[in-house]
């Protein structure tokens, strides 16, 4: 039977698998800790701005997300003309791949990098090259060793999802300095709001001082606007111009735009969220370690917990045990981490319940 045939390589792409959503059980409270969502929801000011936008849903959005670009510019001290907004940072990552990758090109990501990177790469006919990590952390030398004349783009999540690790800014600068000038370095800073290390930098300095680096960010994490799908990129004027030529003219809705403006301006809410996350991330790391589990040091809003391979103590068995208690964590088989679970830092109640669940699981004969 004759039918449309996808472009070469499309059917070789493994579909993105999101963290599982809880199935309601009568009488049981369920905590979804599988998708790195904030336990607080969005700022009340963001909710108010979103609701107010409902008065004019018949109007198209302003096509350049001007009010949001200006708000981001104020918050970070950036030129709004060098900012692009999108339907989540995922859209921007795909726009970058579509702009700069073609069949025969290569793009490099790391072993446990965000799964959208190989999808965006392969969707444009390019080859996804994987650089090994060291201690679940991106390795600059390994990335540079895999650069060839066909390399056009480097994907680097900093901090990385799902490991929670990061590269100090000196290492990021060393990576940039070691790349040919035609190679675009994409710094994905989705989790940067949770980092409190002195040697970390979101990427603004590199973007401001080079012509071949961009930084992407999202409103889905600390701002709690994941359902509205809104993200942004700061880049050199030439890259912004190129990407804008293929960006859809109304890719960010007015309610999302206005909610995001209110969210980024509510600095007290952001600080409260950051402090809660740091306190409970450190606590969960210590508690899981006391139980004999290994936790990869994290600077994000989640922790990567490693389990033994012994029957009765595996990650898959822990996942099933916790799920029965209404505690939904993220299994990571598709990230090549079958012996680990990723836990989003939740409310105090959720965090305590996970600790208790892990204790009871590990105490089983």
The pLDDT of 250-267, averaged and rounded, is 98
Output the CA torsion sign for 86, 92, 96, 98: negative
CATH 3.90.1150.10 fits 18-41+268-363, yes or no: yes
Query: Interior CA angle at 331 toward 327 and 332, to 5°?
Result: 155
pLDDT for the residue 24 = 61
Confirm if 159 and 191 have CB atoms less than 8 A apart: yes
For the chain, domain boundaries = 18-41+268-363, 44-265
Q: Is the pLDDT of residue 149 over 80?
A: yes
Residues whose CB falls within 8 Å of the CB of residue 324, separated by 6 or more in sequence, listed in order: none
Residues whose CB falls within 8 Å of the CB of residue 227, separated by 6 or more in sequence, listed in order: none
Q: Which two tokens stand for residue 321?
A: 């045990």
pLDDT for the residue 74 = 98
The pLDDT of 141-157, averaged and rounded, is 98
pLDDT for the residue 1 = 56
Place of tokens 């509205």: 228
Phi, psi (degrees; rounded to nearest 5) at 358: -65, -40
Q: Is the pLDDT of residue 71 over 60?
A: yes
CATH architecture of 44-265: 3-Layer(aba) Sandwich (3.40)
Q: Given 3-state DSSP classes, what are the helix, strand and coil percentages for the chain, each rounded to the nearest 5?
A: 40, 15, 40
Confirm if 16 and 116 have CB atoms less than 8 A apart: yes
Radius of gyration of the chain (CA): 21
Q: Which two tokens stand for residue 33?
A: 């800790």
pLDDT for the residue 2 = 83
- CA dihedral in degrees (236, 238, 240, 243; nearest 10)? -140
Helices (H), the chain: 44-52, 66-76, 88-100, 116-123, 140-145, 169-178, 204-209, 237-244, 254-265, 267-290, 315-324, 348-363
Residues whose CB falls within 8 Å of the CB of residue 5, separated by 6 or more in sequence, listed in order: none
Q: Which of 27-31, 128-132, 198-202, 350-354 has the lowest mean pLDDT?
A: 27-31
The per-residue pLDDT for range 196-234, each reduced to its tens digit, is 999 999 999 999 999 999 999 999 999 999 999 999 999
Helices (H), 20-87: 44-52, 66-76
Round to whole Å and give the CA distance between 351 and 189: 25
Round to whole Å and give the CA distance between 347 and 358: 17
Partners of residue 128 on adjacent β-strands: 107
Q: How many alpha carbons lie under 13 Å from residue 302 in its C-beta half-sphere?
A: 27
pLDDT for the residue 4 = 79
Partners of residue 127 on adjacent β-strands: 106
Confirm if 195 and 165 have CB atoms less than 8 A apart: no
């Amino acid at each position: 039977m004759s039918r449309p045939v996808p472009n070469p390589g499309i059917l070789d792409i493994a579909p993105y698998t999101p963290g599982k959503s809880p199935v309601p059980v009568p009488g049981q409270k369920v905590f979804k800790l599988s998708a790195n969502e904030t336990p607080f929801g969005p700022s009340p000011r963001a909710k108010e701005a979103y609701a107010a936008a409902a008065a004019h849903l018949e109007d198209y959005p302003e096509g350049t997300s001007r009010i949001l670009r200006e708000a981001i510019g104020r918050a970070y001290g950036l030129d709004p003309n060098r900012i692009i907004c999108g339907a989540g940072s995922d859209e921007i990552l795909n726009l970058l791949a579509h702009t700069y990758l073609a069949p025969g090109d290569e793009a490099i990501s790391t072993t446990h990098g965000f799964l959208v990177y190989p999808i965006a790469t392969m969707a444009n006919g390019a080859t996804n090259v994987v650089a090994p990590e060291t201690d679940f952390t991106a390795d600059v030398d390994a990335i540079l060793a895999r650069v060839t004349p066909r390399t056009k783009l480097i994907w680097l999540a900093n901090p990385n999802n799902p490991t929670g690790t990061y590269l100090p800014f000196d290492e990021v600068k060393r990576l940039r300095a070691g790349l040919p000038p035609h190679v675009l370095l994409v710094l994905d800073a989705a989790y940067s709001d949770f980092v409190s290390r002195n040697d970390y930098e979101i990427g603004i300095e590199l973007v401001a001082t080079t012509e071949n680096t961009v930084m992407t960010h999202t409103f889905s994490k600390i701002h709690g606007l994941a359902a509205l799908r809104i993200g942004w990129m700061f880049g050199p004027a030439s890259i912004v111009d190129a990407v804008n030529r293929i960006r859809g003219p109304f890719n960010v809705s007015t309610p999302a735009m206005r909610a995001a403006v209110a969210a980024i301006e509510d600095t007290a809410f952001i600080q409260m969220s950051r402090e809660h996350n740091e306190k409970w991330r450190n606590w969960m790391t210590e508690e899981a370690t006391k139980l004999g589990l290994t936790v990869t040091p994290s600077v994000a809003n989640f922790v990567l917990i490693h389990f033994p391979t012994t029957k009765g103590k595996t990650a898959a068995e822990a996942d099933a045990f916790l799920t029965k208690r209404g505690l939904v964590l993220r299994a990571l088989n598709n990230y090549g981490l079958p012996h680990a679970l990723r836990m989003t830092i939740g409310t105090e109640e959720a965090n305590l319940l996970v600790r208790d669940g892990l204790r009871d699981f590990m105490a089983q004969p």
